[in-house]
């Protein structure tokens, strides 16, 4: 059997909790060309390669009970953007996934109710927002385009879809001040 291309890079990246998307070339194309072979390669290590329907890859979490301490912060950060888009009448998915954002222009600290949500997960200021975004970058959910500018990547759908799902279970009220992490 031929050695799988970029297997060490792919392993290192996915094992750290990151995702592979079309922005991650050439590793993404290697896995996309032969996902079954990579899944078989990682299986004896106890790792399950997941191919998301929106065309990105990640390892399934080892335990549903272990939640990284960064996830609640990411969930609240994401909820605020979704709520903001909904409140301004913008199509949420298009708003989040098809444009660039500037940290200095985010709505997170502009309204008291958003700031109160952020304080619940220990985000007090723009530096805290930047830290959340850096964690999202490490996961492959965000790409920085400059010091202040970023955009969301395809794997952000994991948290985005969950936020929409939670919103729908609450009767479609995305403006609720409650965020589940």
- Going 63 to 69 to 72 to 73, the CA torsion angle's sign is negative
Report residue 103 as tokens: 């940290």
Crossing angle for the helix pair 126-139 and 71-87, to the nearest 10 degrees: 110
pLDDT tens string 78-104: 999 999 998 999 898 999 999 999 999
Task: Reply yes or no on whether the pLDDT at 110 is more than 90.
Answer: yes
Which pLDDT does position 61 carry in this prediction? 86
Taking the C-alpha atoms of residue 97 and residue 153, their distance in angstroms, rounded to an integer, is: 7
Per-residue pLDDT band for 41 (boundaries 50, 70, 90) equals very high
Please return the burial class of 24, using the count of CB atoms within 10 Å of its CB with bins 0-12, 13-18 and 19+: buried
Taking the C-alpha atoms of residue 80 and residue 174, their distance in angstroms, rounded to an integer, is: 9
DSSP secondary structure string, 32-70?
HH-HHHHHHHHGGGT--EEEETTTEEEEPPS-TT---TT
Domains along the sequence of the chain with CATH: 7-59 (1.10.10.2250), 71-169 (1.10.10)
Task: Reply yes or no on whether the pLDDT at 63 is more than 80.
Answer: no
Using CA atoms of 66, 8, 41, 26 in order, give the dihedral in degrees to the nearest 10. Answer: 100
């Amino acid at each position: 059997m031929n050695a799988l291309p970029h297997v060490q890079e792919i392993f290192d990246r996915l094992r750290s909790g990151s995702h592979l998307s079309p922005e991650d070339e050439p590793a993404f194309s290697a896995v996309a060309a032969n996902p079954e072979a990579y899944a078989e390669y990682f299986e004896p290590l106890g790792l399950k390669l997941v191919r998301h329907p929106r065309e990105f890859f990640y390892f399934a979490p080892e335990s549903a009970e272990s939640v990284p301490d960064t996830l609640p912060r990411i969930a609240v950060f994401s909820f605020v953007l979704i709520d903001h888009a909904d409140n301004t009448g913008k199509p949420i998915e298009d708003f989040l996934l098809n444009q660039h954002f500037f940290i200095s222009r985010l709505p997170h600290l502009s309204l008291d109710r958003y700031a109160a949500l952020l304080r619940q997960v220990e985000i007090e200021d723009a530096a805290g927002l930047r830290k959340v975004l850096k964690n999202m970058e490490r996961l492959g959910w965000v790409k920085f385009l400059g010091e202040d500018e970023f955009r969301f990547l395809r794997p952000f759908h994991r948290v985005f879809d969950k936020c929409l799902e939670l919103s729908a279970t609450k009767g479609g009220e995305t403006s609720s001040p409650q965020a589940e992490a």
